Amino acid sequence: MAGVFLSHTTSDKNFVYRVAADLVDQGIPVWLDAWEVDLGDNLHTKIYEGLDSSSHVLLFVSSKSIESAWVRKEIEAALAKEDQIGHKVLIPIILDRCKLPLSIAGRLFADLSSNYTAGLEKLTKELKLAGALDEDIPLAKRLIPLRFRRVTHLDDAALSANVKRLAKKHGSSFKIDRSQLVMIEEPECQALRDRMRLRLENIEEDPYFSEEFNRSFRQRYDDFNARQNSLYDGMTLLINGLANNPGSTIDLGKSAYWFSRECRSHLAYLLWSSQNPDVKPLIEWGKTESLIPTSDNHSAAEFYGVDSVGSFYVGPKESNLESHFFSWLPKSSRAYSEFEKHQRPMKVWDVCSFEEREKYLVPRMIASLLRDSGSPVTWDFADYLICHS
């Protein structure tokens, strides 16, 4: 089985992505074309394969979708499947005030147009009762949504719950590929990405065009893509490293939150500042973020929400400084006060709390590893030293 198939029109995609992520958070596997169809695939073939192998079809009904010829075809395919297997699989999901197509007008439906939370709870309950949780979906087909609030704040609780559920089910064989991570973008973020691409495609017509501007903007575009890749790669490393590591005291959600927050700050500011200032209205999403949120002691302290920070190097006991990674720690930390007192390297276990390892050391270690693939990785920091930079 492929899970629960989501039939919708492109105009409703932002709302549908929200529902898809909420269902996955409840352990219900979904089939969504944007998440399942790769470059080179035949779109029609893949969609019909998804329809044929899904246990249920959620039809998102809106004033826009009922006009879609493709959605009507998906309805016909779902109804044909019902005739073939002898029971109902199609569930209408109402997004706004519109009439249901006559072919499904008499069906019970889930209404998400007025009370989203209540409607989602009812839908989730029905799907679970119908056995959606029990479907045998291969680990490689499971998806893990990454959702952010207020631009940079990862929903780490949902991420942790999803990963724990999958790790428990698959045991020591648990390992994901970065392609299984799906970013649930805010509409403003997607709009800024579209503006960035459009400006690059028409760079020679840009009122600010010059050879220097051309080079600078293309570098900015490349930097955005590289940082986006680093976000996916880093999150994959964190999930695979911590999900099935019973000896680690590091909380996946907390480390993922701080690692992704720094990445998203870079990405958000790059997008916001890439707008043509003459195109109104300007999109404000990302405006308050910083291109380099931890570039110095002051900005790092502001980013981490502490009064002040000091800089440190962290690495294996028997190694040279080149294999150490750079990190910040609050000046209120034990590590800072102990180093000020003794002026010598100290064991991480002796002076850094679990919370400090999760918030500062692990995210900075992953960032260092992505810049230099030869950097060592640890999840417990046994025999690791920390020294003032």
Is residue 223 pLDDT above 60, yes or no?
A: yes
Which residues, 6 or more positions from 153, have their beta carbon under 8 angstroms from its beta carbon?
A: 257, 261
Residue where a domain stops, chosen among 234, 259, 293: 293
Domain boundary at 137, 170, 196, which? 137
Report if residue 232 sits inside a domain.
Answer: yes
Residue 65 within a domain = yes
Same domain, 253 and 375: no
Give the CATH number, domain containing residue 132: 3.40.50.10140
Domain shared by 190 and 256, yes or no: yes
230 and 167 in one domain?
A: yes
Per-residue pLDDT, 289: 93
Within this chain, do residues 155 and 193 fall inside the same structural domain, yes or no? yes
Q: What is the pLDDT of residues 197-207, one digit of tens each?
A: 999 999 999 99
Amino acid found at 233: D
pLDDT of 343-362, one tens digit each? 899 999 999 999 999 999 99
Residue 372 falls within a domain, yes or no?
Answer: yes
* In a domain? residue 269: yes
**Rounded-to-integer distance, Cα 151 and Cα 260, Å:** 11
* Residue 81 and residue 188 share a domain: no
Residue 28 within a domain: yes
Q: What is the pLDDT of residues 1-29, one digit of tens each?
A: 557 888 888 888 888 889 999 999 888 88
CA dihedral 290, 379, 137, 107 (to 10 degrees): -40
Are 205 and 282 within one domain?
yes
Pair 16, 113 in one domain: yes
149 and 133 fall within a common domain:
no
Does 127 share its domain with 24? yes
- Is residue 19 located within the same domain as residue 87? yes
Asked whether residue 35 is assigned to any structural domain, the reply reads yes
Q: Mark whether 91 and 184 lie in a shared domain.
A: no
218 with 248, same domain?
yes
What does the alpha-carbon distance between residue 276 and residue 291 come to, in Å, rounded to a whole number?
18
How many folded domains does the chain comprise?
3
Domain boundary among 87, 102, 137: 137
Query: Is 202 domain-assigned?
Result: yes
Q: Tell whether 299 is covered by a domain.
A: no
Domain span at 152: 142-293
Q: What local confidence, expressed as pLDDT, does residue 42 receive? A: 44
212 pLDDT band, cuts 50/70/90, is very high
